[in-house]
Amino acid sequence: MEEKKGFFKKLKERLSKTRSNIVGRLDRIFFGKKEITEEVLDEIEEVLFTSDIGVETAQKIIDNVREKVSRKELNDPERLKEALKEEILNILKSAPEKEILYPKGKPLVIMMVGVNGVGKTTTIGKLAYKMKEDGKKVLLAAADTFRAAAIEQLSIWAERAGAALVKKEEGTDPSAVVFDALDIAKNKGYDAVIIDTAGRLHTKKNLMDELKKIKRVCGKKIPGSPHETWLVLDATTGQNAISQAEMFNSSIGINGIILTKLDGTAKGGVIVGIVDKLHIPVLFIGIGESIEDLRPFEPEWFVKALFE
């Protein structure tokens, strides 16, 4: 219980900028108001439209709330705030859920993708640490061979997390790294392989081709893999995150999303738009730079942290 309390407190702190951007502004609208007028509704609409939730999703929320007001189900600001909280929670809960399963007798292969700087490598380090804590044997594959620094960064994370690492020289074909990593993982009984990939190559087409090739190599080495292709998105990029997701999904297909950097940004509302528009499970959120700052995404806790 103590631990859960500390856990929640930290989440709340880390989401404080998003909280003041959404709930803080709503509270200022409600302050001293006794009833809900058209003016109040307009002001709420303004907050939702400028909070990175996304225009369509914001419209949906405000339409539902307006309808409840016109049906006289809502008459005071406190209940209206509760209704907004519920609307947001309902959207967040509408995301498909997913359990991360370790296939029997072979490693779980996870490929981490995303544009440069979103937090792929850091997230892999945090995730590997989580898996280690769960008693799993984890291998990281340094398949971002575009920059030497990227390989070095992943090896530091591997050490921190207590995971093994497969790396080759800068400029090596990433597929060759993956090929070796899967071999080792199969032969040495690893539970999971997490593949780090580049975020930027000379062209977007190059990058997508490279990612497709990595996927093919996985499938040849371990049929059915990569079992998971997760897209890392940076919350500070707001609505841009949604277009990145659409692009990656149509090019290579993704089956999970990790939203990073929710700490230190007021744009955390974007998660509502992501869930509403993409229908891809949001698995984890990043709320800081340290190894323990990756959390499973839990809609109830998230909304509670925003509204309490």
Ligand X SMILES: Nc1nc2c(ncn2[C@@H]2O[C@H](COP(=O)(O)OP(=O)(O)OP(=O)(O)O)[C@@H](O)[C@H]2O)c(=O)[nH]1
Q: Which residues bind ligand X (CB under 6 A)?
A: 114, 116-122, 144, 150, 199, 260-261, 263-264, 286-289, 293
Classify residue 144 as exposed, middle or buried by CB count within 10 Å of its CB (0-12, 13-18, 19+). Answer: buried
145 scored as a contact of Mg ion (CB under 5 A): no
- Of the two residues 51 and 244, which places its CB atom closer to ligand X in the complex? 244
What, of Mg ion, ligand X, none, does residue 267 touch, CB below 5 to 8 Å by kind? none
The CB-of-266 to ligand X minimum distance in angstroms stands at: 13
What, of Mg ion, ligand X, none, does residue 42 touch, CB below 5 to 8 Å by kind? none
What is Dmax (Cα atoms) for the chain? Answer: 69
How far apart (Å, rounded) are the C-alpha atoms in residues 210 and 80?
49
The CB-of-113 to ligand X minimum distance in angstroms stands at: 9
- Of the two residues 57 and 121, which places its CB atom closer to Mg ion in the complex? 121
121 scored as a contact of Mg ion (CB under 5 A): yes
- Of the two residues 122 and 229, which places its CB atom closer to ligand X in the complex? 122
Peptide bond into 226 cis (omega under 30): yes
Q: Which two tokens stand for residue 9?
A: 């407190």
- Of the two residues 78 and 159, which places its CB atom closer to ligand X in the complex? 159
Is residue 233 within 8 Å of 156, Cβ to Cβ? Answer: no
- The runs of H, that is alpha helices, within 22-76 are 25-30, 38-49, 55-70
In degrees, rounded to 5, the angle at the alpha carbon of residue 267 between the alpha carbons of residues 266 and 273 is: 150
The CB-of-145 to ligand X minimum distance in angstroms stands at: 11
The CB-of-305 to Mg ion minimum distance in angstroms stands at: 28
Count CA atoms closer than 13 A to 8's CA, side-chain side: 16
Kindly determine how many residues on this chain lie close enough to bind Mg ion according to the rule CB under 5 A: 3
The CB-of-260 to Mg ion minimum distance in angstroms stands at: 12
* Structure letter (DSSP) for residue 103: P
51 scored as a contact of Mg ion (CB under 5 A): no
Neighbours of 63 (CB within 10 A): 12
What, of Mg ion, ligand X, none, does residue 226 touch, CB below 5 to 8 Å by kind? none
Q: Which residues bind Mg ion (CB under 5 A)?
A: 120-121, 150
